[in-house]
Amino acid sequence: MNCKNCQDSLEENAQFCDNCGAKVIIDRITFKQLITELIINVFGIDSKFFLTLRKMATKPDEVLKEYLLGVRKKYVNPFAFLAIGAGLSLLIFNYFADDFIAIQSNFNSEETAKIKEMADLDLSTLKNISEKELKILEAKKKVAQIQIKSMDKMLQFMLHYYNLLTFIFLPIYSLLSKWTYKKPHNYGEHIVINAYIYGFTTYFSIIAFFAAMLIHPSIYLFSMVAYIGYYLYAFGKLYNLTFGKSVLKLLRFLLGLILFSLIILITVAVIGFLIGKLGLI
């Protein structure tokens, strides 16, 4: 038998051509083979990926410790691991965009329903109200319409830039985990740790999303509790912490997140005030 690429003769049962290095193809193309090659070539998913995924589910501390100690060929690169999860999430959430928006809206369904009711209120049908009450309702209706538009824009932004947001949050989470757990790991190592943990939660969120579509939207909401539990488990195993100490570390992390959020909100408010004051918009 000759190589189909360079026509050089092949040894019996050869897997690759000794002359050009091409893989010897004997079997016909099948749909299963095409899907496998698509996953491997496009998403870079191979045996290392599945090993990393499996061990992040069962022994995350082992993956993290070994990678930080220099065992690199055994596992998928942490940023690739996170990027694949974010990319798959982006594709799936956009394909099921209506379901994604409905599930997200279900988080505060009663409050959202009230806002929508106010935004759609037909003031012309109201009778026996004073001019002052009418102006108050007009103001409330405008505020409700702005809120609805803001929520829609935020959800659309999440849908279109999910992968970008993932890598924006990564250094923030890493900074907070460094502040929470401190030694012995430096900030760069915390980025690696969070990339693996955050990456694993993206795969779990996909499963939770499909479960929410098929069973009940609240499943996606409760999956957030599972993320927190997994973070506690992974960091607890990594730092050999008891459950009590893990909870205390979580409270410290949440405190840091709240303080960081307040700083961002205050900064945005000050910038907005200055822009309005200076008449830049």
- Give the angle subtended at the CA of 75 by the CAs of 65 and 33, to the nearest 5°: 160
Contacts of 103 (CB under 8 A, 6+ apart): 209, 212, 213, 217, 220
Of residues 61, 257, 236, the one with CA closest to residue 176:
257
What's the rounded Cα separation, in Å, for the pair 101 and 8? 57
252: pLDDT strictly greater than 50: yes
Residue 195: how many other CB atoms lie within 10 Å: 24
What is the C-alpha radius of gyration for the chain, rounded to an integer number of angstroms? Answer: 26
pLDDT > 70: percent of the chain: 85
**Apex 245 CA angle, 240 and 248, nearest 5:** 140
Place of tokens 């830049």: 280
pTM of this prediction? 0.71
Would you place residue 188 in the very low, low, confident or very high pLDDT band (cuts 50, 70, 90)?
very high
Reported as a single tens digit per residue, the pLDDT across 89-143 is: 888 888 888 888 777 776 666 777 777 777 787 777 777 777 777 788 888 888 8
Q: What percent of the chain has pLDDT over 90?
A: 22
What is the tens place of the pLDDT at every residue in 47-76? 788 889 999 999 999 999 999 998 888 898
Q: Distance (Å, rounded) from C-alpha 142 to C-alpha 173?
A: 36
| CA–centroid distance for 193 within its chain | 15
Nearest to 233 by CA among 66, 82, 61: 61
What three-state secondary structure class fits 9? strand
pLDDT at position 281 is: 46
Check if the beta carbon of residue 170 is closer than 8 Å to that of residue 178.
no
The per-residue pLDDT for range 149-179, each reduced to its tens digit, is: 877 777 787 778 887 888 888 999 899 999 9
Residues 8, 17 contacting (CB under 8 angstroms): yes
What is the arithmetic mean of pLDDT over 173-202? 91
What mean pLDDT, rounded, does the chain reach?
Answer: 81
Question: Around Cβ 149, how many Cβ atoms within 10 Å?
Answer: 11
Q: Is the pLDDT of residue 255 over 80?
A: yes
